[in-house]
Amino acid sequence: MTTEIPGYKAGTWTIDPTHSEVGFSIRHIMISKVKGKFEQFNATFVTAPNPLDSTVTASAVVASINTNEPNRDGHLRTGDFFDAETYPTIDFVSTGVRQVKGDFLVDGDLTIKGVTKPVTFEFEFGGFGGDPYGNYKAGASARTEINREDFGLTYNAALETGGVLLGEKVTITLELQAVLNQD
């Protein structure tokens, strides 16, 4: 069974980093959330005639992490967290696409700090269309939640008021725009 999506075209798509964002958020001191993003990333989508047969590979450069606090960003690059020198990228390779009650789910393997775990992104098509320069583009949003400790990101600190500095759950959010490669 083929899923119909208005404007959908099969082919190879490359992420447009100037119109995309790879972000995350985590609970901080148990009362709020801190957000951040990776400034350098890439992704390739290969859309099949049947959208459910499509694939994606993606990578984010750990050293490009930006939480708007340089000291924190530096700490996140160390062995306490991502160990950017040893593990320079975070990688995702899809293993399947599903449609459940009209929603698209992209399953795949996420590798952080040398640890690979299965994850599922909730994927929402934003649409398809041409830009003023003759490129055909696709837009989408995706979201998943992981337990950072499953990937060896276990650093934390106890708070004098009780609780801990960082939550275990990290929400990963993607705002994506990709361009169809011209053959």
Interval 15-67: pLDDT, tens: 999 999 999 998 877 778 899 999 999 999 999 999 999 999 999 999 999 99
pLDDT for residue 158: 85
The proportion of the chain whose per-residue pLDDT surpasses 70, expressed as a percent, equals: 97
pTM of the predicted model as reported, rounded to 2 decimal places: 0.92
If you ran DSSP here, which 8-state letter would residue 70 be given? H
Q: What is the mean pLDDT of residues 166-178?
A: 92
Reported confidence tier of residue 116, pLDDT bands at 50, 70, 90 = very high
The H or E element spanning position 13 is: strand 11-15
pLDDT of 68 over the 60 cut: yes
Q: Report long-range pairs for 94-99 (Cβ below 8 Å, ≥24 apart).
A: 94/54, 94/55, 94/56, 94/57, 97/51, 97/52, 97/53, 97/54, 97/123, 98/52, 99/3, 99/52
**What is the 3 state secondary structure string of 119-130?**
EEEEEEEEEEEE
Kindly list the structural domains of the chain, giving each domain's residue range(s) and its CATH number in brackets, ordered by start. 11-180 (2.40.128.110)
Q: For the chain, what's the residue count? A: 183
* Residue reference for tokens 């700090």: 113
Reported confidence tier of residue 2, pLDDT bands at 50, 70, 90 = low
Q: What is the mean pLDDT of residues 110-115?
A: 97
Q: What letters, b where the CB count within 10 A reaches 16 and e where it falls short, cover 68-94?
A: eeeebeeebbeeebbbbeebebbebeb
Amino acid identity of 153?
Answer: L
What whole-number distance in Å separates Cα of residue 29 and Cα of residue 26? 10
What whole-number distance in Å separates Cα of residue 169 and Cα of residue 72? 18
